[in-house]
Structure 1
């Protein structure tokens, strides 16, 4: 499953984002570039709506912004690594350095819940999280994430 929704092209480094709103806009634009969504504006609105329900700022500098929306073409996991930590109202109060963004087509009932669960379990592993925060090469990030998510989804 993970190979269908996550690949090396789904990883991007950003040095311009300074706010959570800018980060969500950046993620939406990146999703469009990757062919994941038809409308970055609609995806952005979905991400914002989800943030209003409860923060997607996880812990230890990681956020998992996500939404299920009809603009999403295919399920996708994207990773954005920020040069400047972004204030996110995270559960632990820490600024976000890495965002795992999920895009799920409307109608895919439990797919996003399974992926969210797997990703959350992965992030409980402090060594995994630290590896994500310190890796600065797309290929390294890809293999760290792919291996961990495959391990947990077996």
Structure 2
């Protein structure tokens, strides 16, 4: 199952993002370039709505996720930023590993 959700094109071990907004853009860009989402803007809007409900990070790992009509195929984009990125979580640990999880809104999808 994991090989259906991610592949080498959806993994970046040297993210360029310097903040949460850039991080979301970079990971969503990977999903868009690999035809896993039909609209980067629509997917990012759904990610932002989900993030506004609660922070999706703990112990240095962030997992922004959303069900979205923009998702054409379930996927996980994986990224690493060795210096970490300020994420606004309560534990004060800046995440260094990121899993952006894309689930279609019309199916059961991937549940955490």
User: Does the TM-score normalized on the shorter chain lie above 0.5?
Assistant: yes
- Taking the aligned partners of 1:91 and 1:15, their CA distance within structure 2 comes to 23
Does residue 87 of the first structure (1) align with residue 86 of the second (2)?
yes
Instruction: Show CA shifts across 1:58-95 (max 9, x none).
Output: 22x11001111011010001101114310112242200
1:122-150 C-alpha deviation (Å, 9 max, x unpaired): xxxxxxxxxxxxxxxxxxxxxxxxxxxxx
Q: CA RMSD in A?
A: 1.4
Work out which structure has the larger RCO, using CA pairs closer than 8 Å and 6 or more positions apart in sequence. Answer: 2
* Greater radius of gyration (CA): 1
| Counterpart for residue 57 of structure 1 | 57
Structure 2 SS opposite 1:78: strand
TM-score using structure 1 length: 0.67
CA contact (8 A) 1:17 1:84 kept: no
Moved over 3 A (4+): none
Deviations 1:1-32 (A, max 9, x none): 22211222221133421111111111111111
Report the Cα distance in structure 2 between the residues aligned to 1:15 and 1:3, rounded to whole angstroms: 21
Q: Which residue of 2 aligns with 1:150?
A: none
Q: How many residues align?
A: 112
Give the equivalent residue in structure 1 for 2:110: 112
Q: Do the aligned partners of residues 34 and 62 (structure 1) sit closer, same or farther apart at CA in structure 2, a change above 3 Å counting? A: same
Going by fraction, where is helix more abundant, 1 or 2?
Answer: 1
In structure 2, what is the Cα distance between the partners aligned to 1:25 and 1:112?
Answer: 21
State the partner residue of 2:98.
99
TM-score by length of 2: 0.90
**Structure 1: unaligned runs, 5 residues or longer:** 117-154
